[in-house]
Amino acid sequence: MGAWSEHTFGNDAACDWAFGFIEHPDLARLEVETDSFLSNDGHLDSGLSCQCLAACEVLARLRGDWGRRDAYSQRLDEWISLNPSDVPLELLEKSRKAIEMILSDSSELNGVVSRNSNSALHAASRW
């Protein structure tokens, strides 16, 4: 995974996921991503974690919590601005559980971010 920043969209996995989401935007896709991550009972791969965080970031932005906006999130931000949506409570709860998993000691991404940055995972810190 290529990464250039500790921010949610500061890596290839999250940017690729966001590009795919923009091509076929749907709240159901956010739930599929979250459910897929939550069903992982083994190693929490950093790439999958980045994709899940990207989905959680979309949910946060749909709720009005925009986080960092930059060139990597621009197309996604534009879509969200043009397509406001209510996020079901059940999906928010799943996202919170996924973020807790990503912040856990068994998460590869948490270890990478902890070694390379003094800041917490940005999407997680806003929930």
30-59 pLDDT, tens digit each? 999 899 889 987 778 888 889 999 999 999
- pTM across the whole model: 0.83
Residue 1: band (very low, low, confident or very high) from pLDDT cuts 50, 70, 90:
low
- State both tokens at 111: 């270890």
Alpha-carbon Rg for the chain, nearest whole angstrom, is 13
Using DSSP's 3-state secondary structure scheme, residue 107 falls into: strand
Give domain status of residue 1, yes or no: no
- b vs e for 17-37, b when ≥16 Cβ sit within 10 Å of the residue's Cβ? bbeebeeeeebeebbebbeeb
Give domain status of residue 61, yes or no: yes
Give domain status of residue 40, yes or no: yes
Give domain status of residue 62, yes or no: yes
Q: Encode pLDDT of 53-103 as tens digits.
A: 999 999 999 999 888 899 999 999 999 999 989 999 999 999 999 988 888
Give domain status of residue 105, yes or no: yes
Task: Quote the number of domains for the chain.
Answer: 1
Domain with 30 in it: 12-125
Give domain status of residue 59, yes or no: yes
Give domain status of residue 6, yes or no: no
Give domain status of residue 5, yes or no: no
